[in-house]
Structure 1
């Protein structure tokens, strides 16, 4: 995950940026600020990966704010004034968005920033040889996940979301093929391009879909249907 803060003295601009961030699965918004001074106080106690900073603000401009930081996070400037673009890149800004900002322009800037600065930030750290658990780097932590605690894994482009029993999902920068390489084949099976299931956690199968917890339905795609049917046949009580 890439952690973010937004800084803008316009409430509507903060609301728009927040809604855009919510649509990008690998972004998480830590906090929004109406002034750069308040953001400075937050950064004294907290780390952040990416900042969206308006340039033209009272008290302390966005440019002055970034220049005041000893070791600044990556910055995407947001402003209504194109003339600040050159100065923005002089402080090594990741990108520069001119208001009004469309979601297309926002997502393009985010993807470019992710590829340039964050592609290797989160990855699989270690796989224990006993096939009982693994360690995943998620956000700023290395998290142990017991394989028996996994219900299913959901793929989202370059990211996966690991759904667990009685735990909140874990996000990690991995693709489905990579994580599948490290899961025991006798317990886990890919049944859709976007889903891997723990075979031991399946409750019901009907109409080409698997049920988890009575209200979660995972589709079985034609590509993986034969392998899953073989699993059912091998374990069906006759």
Structure 2
């Protein structure tokens, strides 16, 4: 599924856009945003493959928003003003929808997105072994670059991962000092098995290591409390409900 974000400052236009996106079988709508600032928060925290973005928005318009992204997803601009068409392609937009547009228009844009998405992921597969993260054949370890060397880490040995700007601290059971790597949360998250979960924008935890859940935090050990972020509370609670045996 291609993870898609809808952005438009007009509530009715946003609702219509979201409705169209949900009719595309290979799309997964992961958010509806009424500002570029809202969208930036989601893009920083989630894997977003494509965005449908209005151009004329207060505070930060869609064009400047896309230019501000260091690694923008696939872009389709939506606007009522045709004069932005040429500028949109200067920022490598995949398509440009002139309002008012219908479902057929969005389907054509969706097919362009899928074509680009498939091409990018084919290229990614070919260069996977050159990635900063590699997985071993037994699927139980990772190779990570740290300082000037590559080290092997047993996945089961990871207690939790802490994000700090462009770096990650990987906390292990086997040692008190964390391993620090230059890597994004999203990138490492892609290589972790299902028993790891992101419960805060700055924390991924090993679910097998949870000792207690107390209000808005997870207790992973003595004096080790990991906060549960609002954006992640629902998915974490769903996980707890699958394991909970009480009344």
TM-score (norm 1): 0.50
> More deviation in 110-119 or 2-11?
110-119
- Give, in angstroms, the shift of residue 113 of structure 1: 2.1
In the alignment, which residue of structure 2 is the partner of 1:121? Answer: 121
Q: In the alignment, does 2:50 pair up with 1:77? A: no
| Structure with greater contact order relative to length (CA < 8 Å, sep ≥ 6) | 1
What is the distance in 1 between the residues matched to 2:97 and 2:191? 31
In the alignment, which residue of structure 1 is the partner of 2:109? Answer: 109
Distance 1:142 1:21, change over 3 A: farther
- Give, in angstroms, the shift of residue 119 of structure 1: 5.1
What is the distance in 2 between the residues matched to 1:117 and 1:66? 18
What is the distance in 2 between the residues matched to 1:71 and 1:47? 11
Q: In the alignment, does 2:55 pair up with 1:55? A: yes
Distance 1:63 1:120, change over 3 A: closer
In the alignment, which residue of structure 1 is the partner of 2:219? Answer: none
- Give, in angstroms, the shift of residue 116 of structure 1: 2.9
Aligned-residue Cα RMSD (Å) equals 2.2
- Give, in angstroms, the shift of residue 118 of structure 1: 2.4
5+ residue gaps, structure 2: 126-189, 195-247
- Give, in angstroms, the shift of residue 76 of structure 1: 0.3
5+ residue gaps, structure 1: 126-139, 145-238
In the alignment, which residue of structure 1 is the partner of 2:93? Answer: 93
In the alignment, which residue of structure 2 is the partner of 1:183? Answer: none
Is the CA contact 2:50–2:113 (under 8 Å) kept in the aligned structure 1? no
Aligned residues: 128
Could you list the per-position Cα deviations for residues 75-133 of structure 1 after superposition, in whole angstroms to 9, with x for gaps in the alignment? 100000000011000000010000001111110111122123325738xx9xxxxxxxx
TM-score (norm 2): 0.48
